[in-house]
Amino acid sequence: MKRCGTLVISSFVYAKIVNMQVADIRDDIDYELISHEDLMKRIREVAKQVSEDYKNRNILLVAVLKGAVNTLAVFSQELSVNAPMDFMSLSSYGSGTQTSGQIKVREDLSTDVRGKDILIVEDIVDSGRTLDWLVNELKGRGANSVKVFALLSKPARREVDVKIDYTGFEIPDAFVVGFGMDYDERYRNLNSIAVLKPSVYGN
């Protein structure tokens, strides 16, 4: 998992240096949904609340690679409590564009979660299937508690009733990129959240 940590840090540093903005990729973007300033403001607000809620508790931040990288990096630096972090790489698989709901662990946590208060940091929750699996998996491993911070929530796509304890923004059913989220590994380093033009992803 140390390799994952290196990947996370390198990705975040790259994003901060490049500082890609919507103006740089205007031909691919329909419109900006959430500005960089609003993202930073909301993440700071959530971090303040989490710092209060987890004071004197044994917190562990868990992020799923790669989408949550930017959110985790900014969020963790805004916390006023000690917050170790660990990472998982997951994939869901099925046929065509439909997932079966089965989850494959590509890279696992390096931390024993028993007795720890886990806060899962997610970039976006749409169907909720992967998140629901992860919450139950961590509980099954003996975590003391498991809660969720999702930067974005897309209720229109929800297939599983999964609880999100801290929500950054609720968004419409649109294809969004930026701040760690991608299309075909592109746009992750965009410093805001934007809606991609359908012509880019072929719909």
Residues with catalytic function:
126
Which residue, 162, 191, 193, 200, is CA-closest to 177?
A: 193
Q: What's the rounded Cα separation, in Å, for the pair 200 and 125? A: 22
- Which H or E element spans position 6? helix 2-18
Q: For residue 5, how many C-alpha atoms fall within 13 Å in the half-sphere facing its CB? A: 9
Cβ proximity of 174 and 194 under 8 Å: no
Q: Is 25 exposed, middle or buried (0-12, 13-18, 19+ CB in 10 A)?
A: middle
State the helix-helix crossing angle for 2-18 and 69-78, rounded to 10 degrees: 90
Cβ proximity of 75 and 68 under 8 Å: no
Could you please report the per-residue DSSP string of 108-131?
A: --SS--TT-EEEEEEEEESS-HHH
- 94-105 b/e (C-beta count within 10 Å ≥ 16 → b): eeeeebeeebee
